[in-house]
A and B are shown apart, each in its own frame.
Chain A
Amino acid sequence: MTLSFTKHTLANGLDVLLHEDHTCPIVAVNLWYHVGSKNERPGHTGFAHLFEHLMFEGSQHHDRGYFQPLQGAGATLNGSTNADRTNYWEVVPSNALELALWMESDRMGYLLPALTEAKFSNQRDVVLNERRQNYENRPYGLAPMALLSALFHDDHPYHWTTIGEVADLHAVRLDEVQAFFRRYYHPANASLALAGDIDVDDALAMARAYFEDLESGDRVDPVDAAASLTGDTRIYFEDRIELPRLYLAWLTPAMFAPGDADLDLGTDLLANGKTSRLYKRLVFDERIATDVSAAQNSREIAGYTQITATAAPGHALGKLEAAIVDEVQRLATESPTDDEMERGRVQAESQFVFRLQTVGGFGGKSDQLNAYNVFLGDPGYFDRDLDRYQSVTAASLQEAVRRYLAPSCRVTLSIVPHGRVELAAPGSQRTEVS
């Protein structure tokens, strides 16, 4: 199983990745900038994401909304920012590829002349509303703020969320936005993938024509920071909720690092779906939780594994914690069954095949090529990525669980209903979140 491609690096440093698939008369244009919230500094958080919004407000040669011409050509489009990267994509009918390249290259090369204080202030309001909608006015919505700040120390670039702090968003100035653009938004810090109904020679020629003249910027140094936990950080906060929820989190290997795939399969085995050990125990048999889930959240320079469970009415979080810790320890000491390992392998194979179905959008083939290229410098990593999962053994999975999911080095976060502090895991300290 492979994801075929060709890669060309233009003179200004822009990587161009091409993949042909004529299933549908559409082309995915997917552009990654290797910048995310981990490139921000304390006191200036939320910047990378706010900037992503500004990229849709027009550039020098098309100083109007970014959406109109592309939607008028039948495109669908979006962008997103996370800790490590910012991506922009259009899926266009194949006859509108040139339009999409015109638009993407114009905002890569000529954004600043069109950027005004009015656009900036409007999009800051939109982002503040995004924050209200997705975090502040949502039950358990501030959990990421509490977890990340406890997992990563103040100066670590994963200490803050991508949406940023409200005070920082209010404080940001237009000249900082301009400096940010010059530093990170240039060809040498970007990767362009074109996937779908293309002729690769024509598509490459078109990408060259639109992007090769754009001026390159300075190479961006990799962000380097170490994270460590020395004990069990036990914290809680009160929220407008009915049922308390427990989060256990551990520092784990970065994306693609040894142990990452093991923990991915290990967390599936523990808490993904009705066949998982924690679902069976907490939800099915003991009925002390209404839901449980787990994930190995691997990022570019560090990862964290998180197990989340919501208590059924009448049960305190300490009870859930004891059962979860017990199951993690059991996985560390007793080998997973052959059936569990076989299910993990076939599910990994299926998921990888499912990923080959679509050329564009978040997680489509163009996005995957860029992910492998930006994080590993190797767009052809798809089959080796699957190999990582296929070669996990019961022993290697257990080794990763023993090594990284130690009971003594973690964050234990309780979110409890207002006035029900007694439901928090024992020994937790109040933490402030906003």
Chain B
Amino acid sequence: MSAPDAAGLDTSPSGVARVPVVDRSRLPEPGPARPFAFPAIEKSTLPNGVRVWTVRHAQVPIISFDLLVRRGASADPPGKDGLAALTADMLDEGTGDRSAIAMHEALARLGAQFDTDIGSDATSVSVTVLARFARPALTLLADVVARPALRDDDFARVRQLRLHRLTQLRDMPGVVADRAFLKLLYGPHPYGHSPIGSESTLAAMTVDDVRAFHAAAVRPSVATLIAVGDCDHRTVVELAAEAFGDWRDGSADAATTDGAVPTAAALNIIPRPKAPQSELRIGHVAVPRDTPDYHALVLANTILGGQFVSRINLNLREDKGFTYGARTAFEFRRLPGPFVLQVSVQTTATARAIEESIGEIAGIRGPRPVTAEELALGIAALTRGYARNFETAEQIARAVMQLAMFDLPDDYFAQFVPAVSGVAAEDISRVMARHIDPARLTTLVVGDLDVVGADLGALGLGDAVVLPSDAF
């Protein structure tokens, strides 16, 4: 067998298919990467302050609009947890004398895919349609965001549905764990509650709260319209000026500011009698999106718990068989976001899974530094496939939204691969030692206390604080 070239292919005359030489004694090396141009963003600003960013992506006759408002659940006023999300939920309940149902019938006549999404730092409303419906879709989007009816009766119904939703979330152990963990980590800090809020805060809310929040927080000067698809910039700007031209800033609210975070106990449990698995959350408040260590932390997380072949998944799933899957994440936000390990493990393995998890988190800071092989694999996983994040209009819109959310430069995508590729093994240990402190880790278990209680006591994390499931 002749030695194949770098791509494992025999060269052959043009016009004839190149036939590879199959060699099962070793894996074929990838050839040189094909060039890829990241989306070019064209930018304008309307007179009222709405930023209009467009990317032409005409592979399929579709256009995707995202209206991003840089106010999310962390903008909830004190005592009104859930107001931003309730307001977002009220946006599509009609406009002028058009009812909520009529609004959705109008969207359905366009075959639109409509979605509202709320996070800690921002709210987005998105509409994807066939390109021929761009104009009516944008008009509806503007009606939703800038001119919602916010009627009394709709408010009563929507709030009631959210209260029912809260009731149902109490049955879901993963959600119980997520909500309780935020509260343990952040307490009264603006990041200390999930967007939906709580029964007591929702019960006390009025439609006037929603109207006031909409006027103060959902306004043009904090909004960016992102359009990706079969469109050109000038047309979108004209359509946007038509649709959003009347939108005016109300009394401005202030951006969310940081606050003190509590010190939670090392080990906490919410009992769930007879549960076949324990939901685990392990972590602490970590680092904001604008950290200079961003790329090194992304890579560190990939190796620790961010991919199938991460240390934690290989340990808990592929070695021990304790779980269907385990992962870690830095949740990057404008203010310091949490680092969280999350996993659901069979009840009998609860204590061992906690021990192994904390061991892995501590290990990557220095005692077990990343190997050259792990580093190379992590870098390759993040960089070689990077282009696939820009295949569809919705993917591109989501990527561009990150730039708008975090004030990232236009060449951010082009810089990502070199920035990750430049991270060295010692950078991983350094940034993890700087931002992760095993002594500060908080562990939460949602599981069967009767079965796991004794094992938890032996972990050396102190007595487990037993929390009632309705405390959050």
Contact = CB atoms under 8 A, between A and B. Distances in A.
Contacts of B30: 73-74, 93, 95-96, 99
A357 B34 CA distance: 20
Given A350-B112, A354-B113, A133 B391 contact: no
Nearest to A417: B171
Interface in B365-408: 376-377, 380-381, 383-388, 390-394
A95 B168 contact: no
Given A25-B35, A25-B36, A74-B380, A129 B164 contact: no
A125 B353 CA distance: 14
A287 interface: yes
Contacts of A138: 172
B28 A102 contact: yes
A25 B386 CA distance: 10
Contacts of B24: 61, 102, 106
Interface in B65-118: 100-101, 104-105, 108-113
A76 interface: yes
B388 A98 contact: no
B131 to A, nearest CB: 9
Nearest to A199: B17
Contact of B377 (A68, A121, A284): A68
B164 A122 contact: no
Nearest to A289: B164
Interface stretch (A239-247, A258-266, A390-398): A239-247
Contact of A206 (B20, B33, B161, B277): B20
A26 interface: yes
Contact of B27 (A69, A137, A240): A69
B442 interface: no
Interface in A345-385: 346-351, 353-354, 356-359
Contacts of B345: 129
A136 interface: yes
A275 B105 contact: yes
Given A94-B34, A129-B323, A283 B161 contact: yes
Given A25-B387, A93-B385, A129 B113 contact: no
B104 A65 contact: no
A3 B167 CA distance: 45
A197 interface: yes
Given A74-B386, A75-B385, A129-B324, A312 B164 contact: yes
B157 interface: yes
B113 A72 contact: no
Contact of B61 (A91, A208, A353, A358): A353
Given A69-B27, A284-B100, A24 B385 contact: no
Nearest to B307: A71
Contacts of A71: 307-309, 377, 380-381
A274 interface: yes
Given A204-B17, A357-B60, A76 B108 contact: no
Interface in A293-322: 310, 312-313
Interface residues of B, number: 83
Nearest to B381: A71
Interface string A124-157: 1110111011101111000000000000000000
B244 interface: no
Contacts of B130: 349-350, 353
A325 interface: no
B164 A74 contact: no
B160 to A, nearest CB: 7
A62 interface: yes
B321 interface: yes
A69 B316 CA distance: 21
A258 B394 CA distance: 34
A339 B105 contact: yes
B385 A275 contact: no
B19 A205 contact: yes
A354 B62 contact: yes
A347 B157 contact: no
A134 B276 CA distance: 11
B257 interface: no
A356 B60 contact: yes
A126 B391 contact: no
B19 A313 contact: no
Contacts of B391: 23-24, 26, 357-359
Contacts of B25: 61
Interface of B: 7-9, 16-22, 24-25, 27-36, 59-62, 100-101, 104-105, 108-113, 128-130, 157, 160-161, 164-165, 167-168, 170-173, 275-277, 307-309, 314, 317-324, 344-346, 376-377, 380-381, 383-388, 390-394
24 contacts: A25-B35, A61-B24, A72-B381, A74-B381, A75-B385, A91-B385, A95-B32, A95-B33, A126-B321, A129-B321, A129-B346, A130-B324, A133-B323, A133-B324, A136-B277, A137-B277, A201-B17, A209-B19, A243-B164, A284-B100, A343-B111, A346-B108, A347-B108, A350-B113
Given A137-B276, A205-B19, A210-B22, 15 more contacts: A26-B391, A69-B27, A72-B381, A92-B385, A95-B33, A95-B34, A126-B318, A202-B18, A205-B20, A209-B20, A213-B22, A275-B108, A283-B161, A354-B62, A354-B113
Q: Which 8 A-B pairs have the closest CB atoms?
A: A74-B384, A125-B321, A350-B111, A74-B385, A205-B17, A139-B171, A201-B17, A25-B34
